Structure 1
């Protein structure tokens, strides 16, 4: 079971940290600490959006519309933490 648990936990850990980086970067852009006119910042932002949008979009379809506040990243992080810390060990190790 460790052969299955290790890679799945690693994937969920990486997804968690990518989501955290996306959230922090969105705050920095909104508070005008980072500028999207800079090529490096724009490239990283576009890459994170392309990577995470397929995860966030189905969640946005389920959640109610809270237009100025996007709750999809919060829900996705809660799902990843739940999978990583509670569901995966319970399913694999009983």
Structure 2
């Protein structure tokens, strides 16, 4: 049973890292959109591009399923909610095993 709890902790850390990457992507996108930071800033653009390349394979299937909402992309929010629901279910399963 301790192994299941350890597995849950590892998954929880990975989900936390993924959520932080999603939030960073969102904030940098807002900074670019409102011209707070110029897209010609090479460091920030490289960082933003690398985060997009990490998250795009995960977000692409969600974007295909969701209806088109125009300029607002709700797929990161759906991913965060899905990950949190997954953690709650996994925690319930582990607790019921004890």
**What does residue 89 of structure 2 align with?**
87
Q: SS where residue 65 of structure 1 aligns?
A: coil
Q: Cα deviations across residues 35-67 of structure 1 (Å, max 9, x unaligned)?
A: 221110111010111011011100011101112
Aligned length: 93
What pairs up with 1:11-30 in 2 under 5 angstroms?
11-30=14-33
Structure 1, unaligned runs of 5 or more: none
Q: SS where residue 90 of structure 2 aligns?
A: helix
Q: Aligned-residue CA RMSD in angstroms?
A: 1.1
* Matched-pair contact (CA < 8 Å) for 1:22–1:48: yes
Q: Choose 1 or 2 for highest CA Rg.
A: 2
**TM-score (norm. length: structure 1):** 0.90
Offset of 1:5 from its aligned partner? 1.1
**TM-score (norm. length: structure 2):** 0.87
